[in-house]
């Protein structure tokens, strides 16, 4: 697992074309995973809605810089193992409901 420093996060945001919202900021919870001989980066973005409630958006960046939305619970951050499992399952969207550890396990 590789943790990214602030300089790397700035580069990664430019590389991936990530845009922050008016309420958003990137969290320090980024890591890389290897799956199928490729490297993927999980980015989490904490968003604060106008009512002051914090939620987390999850994105997986592939080695080509493409951003894939990970429909994961906005109240938790997946582990490295959960990201790998999500990739193994073909990046499921959870059928319209956000995934979590329990629902991801039920898909396998």
Give the pairing type, strands 38-48 and 54-61. Answer: antiparallel
Q: What pLDDT score does 56 carry?
A: 83
What was the pLDDT predicted at 65? Answer: 84
- State the Cα–Cα distance between residues 19 and 2, nearest whole angstrom: 23
pLDDT for the residue 103: 93
**What is the pLDDT at residue 18?**
47
Integer Cα distance of 87 and 34 in angstroms: 10
Q: Tell me what pLDDT residue 81 has.
A: 92
Distance set, CA 38 to CA 23, 32, 42, 70 (Å): 32, 10, 13, 17
Q: What whole-number distance in Å separates Cα of residue 82 and Cα of residue 12?
A: 22
Q: What is the pLDDT of residue 46?
A: 76
Mean pLDDT per block of 10 residues along the chain (108 residues) reads 49 50 48 89 78 80 88 89 94 90 90
- The answer to whether the pTM exceeds 0.75 is no
């Amino acid at each position: 697992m590789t943790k990214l420093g602030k300089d790397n996060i700035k580069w990664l945001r430019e590389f991936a074309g990530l845009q922050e919202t008016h309420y958003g900021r990137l969290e320090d919870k980024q890591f890389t995973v290897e799956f199928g001989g490729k490297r993927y980066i999980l980015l989490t973005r904490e968003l604060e809605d106008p009512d002051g409630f914090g939620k987390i958006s999850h994105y997986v960046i592939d080695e080509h810089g493409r951003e894939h939305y990970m429909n994961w619970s906005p109240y938790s951050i997946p582990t490295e193992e959960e990201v790998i499992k999500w990739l193994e399952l073909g990046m499921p969207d959870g059928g319209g409901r956000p995934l979590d550890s329990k629902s991801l396990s039920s898909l396998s």
